[in-house]
């Protein structure tokens, strides 16, 4: 049986139904019905690019990147 999904909600529901799934910790940690299992495989990595126009870099709306870096940095290793 092969299950494929392109959204986290469907993957979470598959895991809750017993199919299993690789989920980001922020999804799995918030669901008391899911239990993390140890694995010998390394967790998949993804790139995240935060870009803005230079003239907007100091504008309040564009400073959301600081929030993302702080929030993601608590659970994900971020390069310097």
User: In terms of residue numbers, what domain contains 16?
Assistant: 1-40
Burial class (CB in 10 A: 0-12, 13-18, 19+), 34: middle
Residue 80 and residue 53 share a domain: yes
Residue 1 and residue 30 share a domain: yes
pLDDT in tens, 1-37: 788 899 999 999 999 998 888 888 888 888 899 988 8
- Say what the pLDDT of residue 79 is: 65
Total domain count, the chain: 2
- Say what the pLDDT of residue 2 is: 82
Q: How far apart are CA 9 and CA 7, in angstroms?
A: 6
């Amino acid at each position: 049986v092969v299950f494929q999904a392109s959204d986290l909600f469907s993957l979470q529901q598959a895991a809750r139904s017993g199919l299993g799934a690789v989920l980001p910790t922020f999804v799995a940690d918030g669901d008391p019905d899911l239990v993390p299992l140890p694995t010998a495989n390394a967790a998949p990595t993804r790139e995240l690019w935060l870009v803005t126009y230079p003239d907007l870099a100091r504008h309040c709306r564009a400073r959301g990147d600081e929030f993302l870096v702080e929030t993601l940095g608590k659970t994900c290793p971020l390069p310097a």
